Structure 1
Amino acid sequence: MRRPLALCLLTCLALQACSQSLPDRLGAPIEGYSHTSAAINYFMVNGNGGPNIGPYGGGGKQNCCVSLPRQWHPGLTVVVEWEKDPTPHAYGKWPEPPFIDAWRARMKKEKLNNTRHRAVVEVAPYEELGVIDVHFLPCNQVAVSAVAVTPGQAGYPFNYPSKMEEPAVCPAS
């Protein structure tokens, strides 16, 4: 008598597990791309940190995670915050030997040139949630995708060149 009861209980539990819905939101890893000569010292998407990015670089290095809806919807935005270093290789040309007091003083002064930015950015449409890619563009513009394919593959929403130059004058936002 116990065997049929146990079998019935297991069957009910299995059916209940099958009926549970998938979560509405999923965690997606973050990676970034700098399309400019500036380094991105750090960036965050909705308060979650992405990796630092060298000039004209990025991709392949991910941090975890940002929660996004499983299904894209119109008006979906994220908040991107970042610090930009416009002269990331300047210290290589300094006459002071590295890490002495004069070098540290110059580094402290050089860091004052770094700028911090914040933008509310629309997420490009996606059918399947993938990696959150943040593209840093000239004039402190940012583009964000969350598709399940990588840049350069069919279906990727952006086709930015890896090297883009800052214009002499940026358009007014």
Structure 2
Amino acid sequence: MNFFYRWLRVLALAVLPLLIACASTAGEDTVGTSVSGVGHYGKRIGVADFFVNGQWAGAVTGWGGGGKSLCCVSLPRHPDKPVMVTVKWRTIRSNVGEEAWHEQTVPVNFAAPSGDGSGLKIHFLPGHQVQAWYTSGGAWGDAYPGPAYPKGPAPDYAPRPNEKPQPNAEVKP
């Protein structure tokens, strides 16, 4: 039982500053929310870093989730017009030695009232496109309104015309 209380105390000390940080970014007209990312690129590519409105939000694999931020992004408490966020991200394709920065300003898709959701999900889609969704559930659920969560084996990454092509697969005798 003593181990449980120590673990609970460590967890509280780790989470409490994050909650305070998110609350401190919120004002009377804004709400602080966490950010996470979902990769839809495929294999042999990853999002090494991503930022939302200048706030570092983590890293994401090329296929699936990750990148839960340590802090948050402020969203309007009662949005009365489209809410835009700027996402900047760095992709790395280690199999071809390529690293690139991308940036896009996109609208936030609100599927939950601001302040009642479980965070902002940033989807990294093929063609270096992004979508932002503020929802009450996880990105992996069947009722999730955004892009379908990547399932099954990851497909090969399809490079854009201005990117290095994938190396030829070795043919084994």
Q: Give the structure-1-normalised TM-score.
A: 0.63
Distance in 2 (alpha carbons) for counterparts of 1:155 and 1:71 = 24
1:89-128 pair list within 5 angstroms: 90=95, 110=97, 113-128=98-113
Q: Which of the residues 26, 41, 51 maps onto 2:31?
A: 26
- How big is each residue's C-alpha offset from its partner over 1:147-170, in whole Å with a ceiling of 9 and x where there is no partner? 222113365321324146655767
More strand by share: 2
Q: Which of the residues 74, 78, 96 maps onto 1:67?
A: 74
**Bigger Rg, which one:** 1
1:1-173 pair list within 5 angstroms: 23-36=28-41, 37=43, 38-59=45-66, 61-87=68-94, 90=95, 110=97, 113-129=98-114, 130=117, 131-153=119-141, 156-162=144-150, 163=154, 166-167=157-158
Query: Which segments of 5 or more consecutive residues in structure 2 lack a partner in the other structure?
Result: 1-26, 162-173
Gap change, CA 1:32 and 1:60, over 3 Å in 2:
closer
* Bigger relative contact order (CA 8 A; separation at least 6): 1
Gap change, CA 1:169 and 1:85, over 3 Å in 2:
closer
- How big is each residue's C-alpha offset from its partner over 1:57-81, in whole Å with a ceiling of 9 and x where there is no partner? 3247332110101234442110000
Q: Give the structure-2-normalised TM-score.
A: 0.63
- How big is each residue's C-alpha offset from its partner over 1:88-117, in whole Å with a ceiling of 9 and x where there is no partner? xx49xxxxxxxxxxxxxxxxxx3xx20001
Aligned amino acid, residue 88 of structure 2: E
Gap change, CA 1:40 and 1:149, over 3 Å in 2:
same
CA contact (8 A) 1:138 1:165 kept: no
Identity %: 28
